[in-house]
Amino acid sequence: MKRSPLLFATAGALAFTISAAEAANVKITPLGSHDGEFCRFDRAMIFEDPDGTRILYDAGRTVAGAGDPRLGKIDAVLVSHMHGDHVGDRHTKAPNAGTCGKPDISVVDAPITNTVNIAKAKGAKIITGSEMPGFFKSKLKAIGGNPKDSLLVRFGASRKLGGVTLTTVPATHSNGVNPAFIGGELGEALKAVGLNAYAGPPTGYVVTFSNGLVAYLSGDTGLTAEQDLVVRKHYKANLAVINIGDVFTTGPKEAAYVINEMVKPASVIPSHANQVSTKGGKVIAGTKTDAFSKAVKVPVHLPLSGKTMEFDGSGKCAAGC
């Protein structure tokens, strides 16, 4: 059979497109409190898909508000749960203000949150699970934003944003809304009895990028069987960002078990250490990050603030690590 030259040309173009997508990397840039280090309050990270979609995960306190020059274009903000150090009850005056162990977080965001101020300024979506979207809708409305920019994605569901597919996964933690975010009589009453408002269960995320990278963002969590049954077996995560801080979440030993025995990714980025973890970009001996790195069997890549790492579709670091 004689094949037409046109068919060959089309097949060639298709092959080129596929190999270009495979070769493309996802860029991950931690936005911590101090350039080149992994500091006490560091949680925030930007994920950039090869198609240009940019996602901010857990803005917390180290993103210096909507005007932080490190943000650039943001298409969506993810919030694992409502605690102040993730949603942003306050934030740093500027990158590098204060010290790594005691960053200057003197700018108060409650009752609105750092997350909502950033999303409004950037025209970004806020994508959350549980009962959290209603809270963000009301806060967006309160500052003149569009409530429809707060989008729901519950466990087992998925939502598409450009070439990125997002879902939430269970986290074993808590998810109270601090009375400082509520205000009024209800806020005062809750404060008086020492309780928070209900926002549904806390979450982690699984984010699948267009180059094949599947990132598990743990949020604050303890050990949970879903890390094996859902995150690995169903979603096949090949990169994990896991919280190692202890007291509030898995400590280094428990987080290492999650990585080695349950999620089994190709590489891991520790987060949420709640201590000064590096000096000059190198791990300080005896820290939780040090203990975690020694206990984990796969490559560990430090979330050094402002330092962009690139990951290929198999979860391996291709540049910047």
- Torsional sign, CA 302, 306, 312, 313: positive
Residue 2, both tokens: 């004689």
Cβ pair 61, 107 in contact under 8 A: no
Query: Which one, 58 or 310, has the nearer CB to Zn ion?
Result: 58
Closest CB 119 distance from Zn ion, rounded Å:
20
Closest CA to 79 of 125, 147, 34, 138: 125
CB-based burial of residue 314 (10 Å sphere; 0-12 exposed, 13-18 middle, 19+ buried)? middle
Pattern 57-96, Zn ion, x by CB under 5 A = --------------------------x-------------
Pattern 148-187, Zn ion, x by CB under 5 A = ----------------------------------------
Closest CB 217 distance from Zn ion, rounded Å:
13
Query: Which one, 139 or 173, has the nearer CB to Zn ion?
Result: 173
Figure out which of the listed residues 220, 226, 246, 312 binds Zn ion, where binding follows CB under 5 A.
Answer: 220
SS3 15: helix
Query: Which one, 177 or 283, has the nearer CB to Zn ion?
Result: 177
The DSSP output letter for 202 is: -
Query: Which one, 224 or 238, has the nearer CB to Zn ion?
Result: 224
Query: Which one, 202 or 303, has the nearer CB to Zn ion?
Result: 202
Q: Which residues contact 271 (CB under 8 A, 6 or more apart)?
A: 42, 43, 45, 218, 241, 242, 243, 244, 303
Residues that bind Zn ion (rule: CB under 5 A) add up to a total of 2
* Chain residues that interact with Zn ion, rule: CB under 5 A: 83, 220
